[in-house]
Amino acid sequence: MSVLIIAEHDNQQLNPATLHAVTAAAKLGEVHVLVAGSGAAAVADAVKQVAGVGKVLRAEAAHYAEGLAEELAPLVARLATDYRYIAATATAFGKNLLPRVAALLDAPQVSDLTEVVDGQTFVRPIYAGNAFETVQSDAEKLVLTVRATAFDAAAASGGNAEVLETEATPAQNLSRFVSRELTQSERPELTQAKIVVSGGRALGSAEKFNEVLTPLADVLGAAIGATRAAVDAEYAPNDAQVGQTGKVVAPQLYIAAGISGAIQHTAGMQDSKVIVAINKDPEAPIFNIADYGIVGDLFEVVPQLVGELKKV
């Protein structure tokens, strides 16, 4: 009844998102983790120390370097013969790879699960997080993606799993890696941040977005998020989008400035521990889920907040 988790990494470091999948998978059986990459020894080394990991499978090949789903899927499908469950975190990586694996295995996939009830029963959000459905499957093999915010991260140390080499599958050459543009930032990564400051359409321009929100994020050591409206208007980069078609976050504190609270946005942040909303419209739906609401003009409120926080 063991579970194979596909580790997400950049050949140097394990993406902490994988640690949440380990916690979910531990409820299903012994956890094995596949590290497929190119020169990814340091990642395998990190994974073997993760608490709760029983075994690390390491596959090395140049064509695994960029984590292309077309290259990884045949490897995962081959290894899957030994496992009942194949899992990954529901990040862009996991959401890209696992449907392809499910298709190769002709196995059902339960996506974005938020609870493991038992070995056949899982809870997952539907209707942009407005409802949760419980799904049951007695399929021989199940492919699972795990919502990171629903499970604590497994401890990165304390384990001592054995690392086994596994043979690489031949290159598929169905897709080709062209380039990657990474946002360089001193800020915490959005999905891992303890505090997120997010802005909406109300900010009005990229300049205002940065001018108003950056000082608040700086004083709080927060990551910066945005609504789709703000991203579409190019006030903020794509990878800052929070919501149904963006990232799902659940920080200790989420500050929503000039955000109306459309369900597609709240789907990505409503599990935040404390939500603070700043909006000049007292009827804005965001106030329905906010723990603290400030009715006011964000261009006045946010600088005042920064001023007060600097005194602390």
Residue numbering of the annotated binding site: 201, 227-228, 241-245, 258-265, 279
Q: Which is nearer to ligand FAD, 162 or 300 (CB)?
A: 300
For residue 228, the minimal CB distance to ligand FAD (Å) is 3
Q: Restricting to residues 180-239, name those near ligand FAD by CB under 6 A.
A: 200-202, 227-230
For residue 238, the minimal CB distance to ligand FAD (Å) is 11
Structure tokens at 282: 């007292």
Where do we find the tokens 């890209």? 96
For residue 293, the minimal CB distance to ligand FAD (Å) is 11
Residue 284 binds ligand FAD (CB under 6 A): yes
Structure tokens at 307: 């001023």
Give the burial class of 235: count Cβ atoms within 10 A of its Cβ; 0-12 exposed, 13-18 middle, 19 or more buried. buried
Q: Which is nearer to ligand FAD, 35 or 298 (CB)?
A: 298
For residue 242, the minimal CB distance to ligand FAD (Å) is 6
Count Cα atoms within 13 angstroms, Cβ side, for 202. Answer: 23
Residue 298 binds ligand FAD (CB under 6 A): yes
Q: Which stretch binds ligand FAD (CB under 6 A): 97-105, 110-118, 180-188, 294-302?
A: 294-302
For residue 189, the minimal CB distance to ligand FAD (Å) is 17
Q: How far apart are CA 50 and CA 153, in angstroms?
A: 10
Q: Which is nearer to ligand FAD, 47 or 286 (CB)?
A: 286
Q: Which is nearer to ligand FAD, 116 or 284 (CB)?
A: 284
Evaluate whether 6 touches 73 at the Cβ level (below 8 Å).
no
Q: Restricting to residues 25-84, name those near ligand FAD by CB under 6 A.
A: none
Q: Which is nearer to ligand FAD, 186 or 283 (CB)?
A: 283
Evaluate whether 295 touches 309 at the Cβ level (below 8 Å).
no
Tell me which of 67, 125, 159, 246 binds ligand FAD, using CB under 6 A: 246
Q: Which is nearer to ligand FAD, 154 or 284 (CB)?
A: 284
Residue 245 binds ligand FAD (CB under 6 A): yes
Q: Which is nearer to ligand FAD, 106 or 283 (CB)?
A: 283
Residue 159 binds ligand FAD (CB under 6 A): no
List, as residue ranges, the binding site for FAD.
201, 227-228, 241-245, 258-265, 279
Contacting positions for ligand FAD (CB under 6 A): 200-202, 227-230, 241-246, 258-260, 262, 264-265, 268, 278-281, 284, 297-299
